[in-house]
Amino acid sequence: MENERYEYKAEGRSDPFKPFVTPKSTSSALPDPNEIVEEKTEYSGMQLFEPGQLALVGIMMTSSEPIAMVEDQTKKGYMLKIGELVGKRGVVTSIDEHQVVITETARTRSGQEMKSTVIMKMKHEGDK
């Protein structure tokens, strides 16, 4: 047995040192035209909160304009007015006695504009 030599025959076999999974080449793949593109802007104020992170706790109907009162998870309060920016893509579009409507606008890579609406409703005592 000492004189026997083993010789690996690679013919018809895969390379045992080649990884099974190869990284996807980013240069050959075309970007998805429907992918939402993030704008490179600095956010401040209410833009630091997404609408889902806020709870509507009160609405004041004044003679000049309605004002909504919201709280974050730490129970810190903020006031919202129509036209105020909320989150990365949202703007307060309406406030009435029972709800605040935030319209979010996103742009895709192809330049198409996508709109979605977030409605914040007043929670009554006992609601979760």
Q: Are 48 and 59 in contact (CB under 8 A)?
A: no
Would you call 9 helix, strand, or coil by DSSP?
Answer: coil
The pLDDT assigned to 101 comes to 96
What is this structure's pTM? Answer: 0.66
What is the CATH number assigned to the segment(s) 45-121? 2.30.30.830
Distance between CA atoms of residues 104 and 93, nearest Å = 10
Query: What are 120's strand-pairing partners?
Result: 100
Rg (CA), the chain: 28
Distance between CA atoms of residues 81 and 83, nearest Å = 6
The pLDDT assigned to 28 comes to 53
The pLDDT assigned to 29 comes to 60
Residue 45 has pLDDT above 90, yes or no: no
Residue 20 has pLDDT above 80, yes or no: no
Q: For the segment 72-112, what is each residue's pLDDT rounded down to a tens digit?
A: 999 999 999 999 999 888 999 999 989 999 999 988 877 78
The pLDDT assigned to 77 comes to 92
Q: Where are the domains of the chain?
A: 45-121
